[in-house]
Structure 1
Amino acid sequence: MKKVYGSASEALDGLLSDGMLIAAGGFGLCGIPELLIDAIVESGVKDLTVASNNAGVDDFGLGKLLATRQIKKMMSSYVGENAEFMRQYLSGELELEFNPQGTLAERMRAGGCGIPGFYTKTGVGTMIAEGKEVKQFDGEDFILERGIFADLSIVKAWKADDTGNLVFRKTARNFNPPAAMCGKVCVAEVEEIVPRGALDPDAIHLPGIYVHRIVQGDHEKRIEQRTTRKREEA
């Protein structure tokens, strides 16, 4: 099966539709599938629900889809660093389903493993538990969280081979693997495609069975918050 495509728009061809659920990788500004996001912006698809740890910043990452009002609902654990995200949420223009970070990651992983739900103590006794089933195990309360089964996953990896085996770099490994797992179709953008057999099997973070399409491209290296100090006088 051919998995390598020439551009992000080609890799997404036939996969996008209004109202779909997309799982997106990335953590802060690290590991964001920026080329695929740009292609989704250009497609004009709307009323999207996006499951992602955060929404990038105002002019980068998922922030671009918020600016064009293509996202109807976010399933996230962090809304900082993005003024438009906060503005739309506080004004009632954007639906938001808050998730603790570990819960969101596990919901994605569970979906990828075919697990419809799991119980966790995280969020018990808080607004996170509102409307959810509570069950006791060994005398303690746990809440039921549902696995995420996305229509499409978009992720960014460091390296891939043509079968879709992926290697992520450092912090990009946080949310990209579980996001990739939970989609009916997974499209990965990568910095480098290497020959089959070039990747050490022990170094592969996500096997190609989860990845359906790959695109290679150039990526922007952004720093989310640049902190400096004055040079000390000699």
Structure 2
Amino acid sequence: MIDKIRSDVDKALSCLKDGSSLMIGGFGECGRPNMLIAAVLDRGVRDLVLVSNNSGTGRVGLAALLLSGRVRKMICSYPRGDLAVELERMVKAGSIELEVMPQGTLSERMRAAGAGIPAFYCPTGFGTTTARGKETREFNGLGCVLETGLTADVALIKAGRADRWGNLTYDRLARNFSPLMCMAARTVIAEVDEVVELGDIDPEHVVTQGILVDAVVRTQPVDARVWERALA
């Protein structure tokens, strides 16, 4: 019997090691799997390569993960916001490497990887600093940049509902990058608000199919001391 529901969050994250590449869903704080991020901090893993749309807000969740010094490299489209000053200081100090790209390019790199496409040409960024060091080419007079598919060892995402097979639905904007990350990552762990019986999710409403998901954990309140310990 297929049952991907896990009660032990730390055990579900056992695939995450020092040096792993990690995708974390979320647009701002919408769709952010903060319980899973707290569990990552509790595991104490380091030297991570992190892929996410932005760098987080405040001093909790994704921001706490970055400020804790556990991330070696950040790949994102929006490194500004609440964390801008501290992230800039970290980059200048050499404590973190930052790779910034247009949001659509970030999205397409994950989609391409999930579809088995190793690289693609994209006009966005041609002639700008984001194209520096990359192969460029013209197609019918349109300058393009060669971008590679973006994969990760593990993806942590937030979904609304799941069944025991791992089929997922999302709540509006919380959907954001998560379905693409599920395609691009080798191991996918989903934090969900509700676990339902098989058949309760209309097949036409399934956004991420269970074959892409390795483990499902129910959302639980996060002890604020997790963030405090990470920043101590």
Superposition TM-score, scaled by structure 1 size: 0.89
Identity %: 43
Question: Counterpart in 2 of 1:29?
Answer: 29
Once the two structures are superposed, residues 184-207 of structure 1 have per-residue CA deviations (whole angstroms, 9 ceiling, x without a partner) of 010000000110110011111111
Question: Counterpart in 2 of 1:198?
Answer: 200
The one of 154, 157, 160 equivalent to 2:156 is 154
Question: Counterpart in 2 of 1:78?
Answer: 78
Q: In structure 1, how many angstroms separate the alpha carbons of the residues matched to 2:88 and 2:207? A: 33
Q: In structure 1, how many angstroms separate the alpha carbons of the residues matched to 2:63 and 2:123? A: 31
Question: Counterpart in 1 of 2:125?
Answer: 123
Deviates more, 1:30-39 or 1:74-83: 74-83
Secondary structure of 2:57's aligned partner? coil
Question: Counterpart in 2 of 1:3?
Answer: 4
Q: Say yes or no: does 1:142 pair with 2:144.
A: yes
Q: How does 1:31-180 map to 2 (within 5 A)?
A: 31-79=31-79, 80-82=81-83, 83-180=85-182
Once the two structures are superposed, residues 64-88 of structure 1 have per-residue CA deviations (whole angstroms, 9 ceiling, x without a partner) of 1112200011000111222433331
Instruction: Please list every run of 5 or more consecutive structure 2 residues that lacks an aligned counterpart in the other structure.
Output: 223-232
Is this contact kept in 2: 1:65–1:71, CA < 8 A?
A: yes
Q: CA deviation at 1:219?
A: 5.4
Q: In structure 1, how many angstroms separate the alpha carbons of the residues matched to 2:216 and 2:114? A: 19
Is this contact kept in 2: 1:25–1:180, CA < 8 A?
A: no
Q: CA deviation at 1:10?
A: 2.3
Superposition TM-score, scaled by structure 2 size: 0.90
Secondary structure of 1:54's aligned partner? coil
Instruction: Please identify which structure carries the higher helix content.
Output: 2
Q: Which amino acid aligns with 2:13?
A: L
Is this contact kept in 2: 1:26–1:176, CA < 8 A?
A: yes
Q: In structure 1, how many angstroms separate the alpha carbons of the residues matched to 2:163 and 2:221? A: 18
Q: CA deviation at 1:55?
A: 2.0
Deviates more, 1:147-156 or 1:61-70: 61-70
Instruction: Please list every run of 5 or more consecutive structure 1 residues that lacks an aligned counterpart in the other structure.
Output: 221-234
